Amino acid sequence: MNYIDFLNTPRIDQVGIEDRISRITARSIKKEAKMQGLYKILQMIDLTTLEGADTEDKVKQLCFKAHHLHDEIPGLPTTAAVCVYPNFVQLAVNELKGTGVKVASVATAFPSGQSSAAVKILDVKMAVDNGADEVDMVISRGKFHSGEYRFVFDEIAMIKEACGKNVRLKVILETGELGTLDKVRQASDIAMHAGADFIKTSTGKIKPAATLPVTLVMLEAIRDYYCKTGIMIGMKPAGGISSAKLALQYLLMVKETLGGQWLSNTYFRFGASSLANDVLLQIAKQKTGIYQSNDYFSKV
């Protein structure tokens, strides 16, 4: 991707995006398809704790929840991953050994992205050396808004190289700070061409975080990139998705935009820890006919 391409990404038809979203949210989903979707959602969740008050015990509890979502409902899958700061990666790796749950780590001066290249590389190396399967980086939004697109591209490529061949890179655009859907599309294209394995909406630290229109724009960018290159890029909406009903609408949008091959946690994730409990409530309701109390579910 050359510099001129950075300035010539497709313009977004906002009216068209909003019309498509309104048609998706108006759909009804039959019971059997709904249950299949609920189980898929659980498999796609990255349980996350990224607070200054995080402790080893909190990380251990989160890891336990990732593969014991609810012991009284048989046959539940594990979540896709647990996402922590780099200093907790080794602990999470030990806690999740043999479960199939991935360990992801934020890096590159998360959530601001305001630091030097050297510090960002050290951040990534710490996560990778401690056993992270995935790294979630944030782009330098200040550089992006200054029009320094080559800087943003080169930094993503640098972080991808630091991850090595076996660690997947999720690139967080922080779409709530980008301003327009055109900018979201531009940042998506830069990230994919620079080597992102996933593009991700948000850190979850600012509002708005993930929205259906923003995610649709990013999915269309992934579709166009796949048509040009044959390379499948993953998508992760993060922040603000707390209901099973909304998550099912995201799955429907993915299916209709990209196809069923993207409906696995290899290529689609939810960054929404609170979502798991609502999905569990809905599964219990479908199985028993009654809603359980929120008190029966871990708040971790």
Task: List active site positions.
Answer: 136, 200, 236
Evaluate whether 114 touches 79 at the Cβ level (below 8 Å). Answer: no
Nearest to 180 by CA among 224, 211, 203: 211
Nearest one of 255, 234, 235, 173 to 206, comparing CA atoms? 173
Closest CA to 194 of 231, 147, 219: 231
Q: Which helix (H) or strand (E) holds 236?
A: strand 234-236
Q: Which helix (H) or strand (E) holds 89?
A: helix 89-96
Q: How far apart are CA 7 and CA 185, in angstroms?
A: 11
Does the N-terminal peptide bond of residue 111 adopt cis geometry, omega within 30 degrees of 0?
A: yes
Tokens of 23: 């048609």
